[in-house]
Amino acid sequence: MLGDMTEIHTVIGAGQVGTQLARLLASRGHTVRIVRRSAFTAELPGVVRMQGDVTDPAFADQACRGATAVYNCANPPDYTRWDGVLLPLYRAVREAAGRAGARLVQLDCFYMIGRPEHAPFDERTPMNPCSPKGELRKQLVEELFEAHRRGDVRATSGRASDYFGPDTPQAAVLRPDVYDRIVKGGTVYVFGNPDMPHSYSYTPDVARGLEVLGSHEEALGRVWNLPVAAQLTTREAIERFAARAGTKVRVRRVPQWALRSVGVFVPLASALAEMSYQWDVPYLADDGDFRRTFGVGPTPLDEAIDTTLAAHARARAKAKAA
């Protein structure tokens, strides 16, 4: 373990992972800055909030100055408009972390893997993207570690699968509207094959995994698959939630043709259809390297589910009272 409890840690991006990471780092006694372009909505006691554009080098340098670690959790909210946005954003964060002499921890996904030839797949599985988003993610990975090899920045990357957890509204499958149906009992509609094995990541585990990568020298220079909370079919995962909620549900698949048809008018549906291949093949990430190296695994699944459902109930009660 590096450093002491007075380190400065900068989190770029105040979404569902960045916010949880900032709170976690602050709870460890660090000085924490969190950065986003738009206005803040979440309460973050003990965290310095900085609003600005990190593609502005002067602002980026201010945000990263003196930091031991910089965590790039930024993800543009418009899922359909990554082109022309992610590249300059990630390059700006990488360069600012390098100028500050900070370790850079990049939050990533598995889009660059494409359709894996076998499951589970690990960090040595070749990148073989089969979508424009995957091609972009592959380019970002290659740029990140080429910069590391040149000595421009000391970098690592943590990959997570599809999210669930408290305060995690931007999830592909396990979203607040799905929890509503689970709690009431009824039919849950999903895209992709609900009977294909799939990895799901619990957002507090993702935040904790990034914290671990930011505090260990041996994390640098390579990609890590972060701890995976569930290795189940989507149907099994949803039914597990229902069992913990004391209800029963039916799981139905939204046909691919319906997603594509709606996508003509709704860009998000088209983007989801582009990535639905991840549910049409076994999509299981092997997190063994992370567990063996750092001795950290995921939260027990039933505990994660109970915490998620309790957070969802509080959010719904708060919205109703407002």
Q: What per-residue confidence (pLDDT) applies to 5?
A: 52
* Amino acid (1-letter code) at residue 239: E
Give percent of the chain with pLDDT exceeding 90. 80
pLDDT digits (tens, 9 = 90+) for 88-134: 999 999 999 999 999 999 999 999 999 999 999 999 999 999 999 99
Residue 139 buriedness (CB in 10 A; 0-12 / 13-18 / 19+): middle
Q: What per-residue confidence (pLDDT) applies to 102?
A: 98
Q: What per-residue confidence (pLDDT) applies to 266?
A: 39
How do the domains of the chain map onto residue ranges? 8-162+201-229+282-298, 176-196+232-281+312-321
β-partners of residue 112 are none
Q: What per-residue confidence (pLDDT) applies to 212?
A: 98
Q: What per-residue confidence (pLDDT) applies to 41?
A: 81
CA of 6: how far to CAs of 25, 27, 45, 67, in Å?
11, 12, 17, 10
Q: Are 17 and 76 in contact (CB under 8 A)?
A: no
Residue 169 has pLDDT above 80, yes or no: yes
CA-based R_g, the chain, Å: 19
pLDDT digits (tens, 9 = 90+) for 276-293: 889 999 999 999 999 999
**C-alpha closest to that of 49 among 31, 61, 73:** 31
Mean pLDDT value across residues 41-52: 91
pLDDT digits (tens, 9 = 90+) for 285-319: 999 999 999 999 999 999 999 999 999 999 999 88
Q: What per-residue confidence (pLDDT) applies to 7?
A: 93
Query: Token pair for residue 264?
Result: 């003509």
CATH level 2 (architecture), domain 8-162+201-229+282-298: 3-Layer(aba) Sandwich (3.40)
Q: What per-residue confidence (pLDDT) applies to 267?
A: 46
Q: What per-residue confidence (pLDDT) applies to 180?
A: 96
- If pLDDT is split at 50, 70 and 90, which confidence band does 265 have? very low
Which positions ≥6 away from 237 have C-beta within 8 Å?
164, 173, 174, 198, 200, 230
pLDDT digits (tens, 9 = 90+) for 224-255: 999 999 999 999 999 999 999 999 999 999 87
- If pLDDT is split at 50, 70 and 90, which confidence band does 270 have? low
The count of other CB atoms within 10 Å of the CB of residue 39 is 8
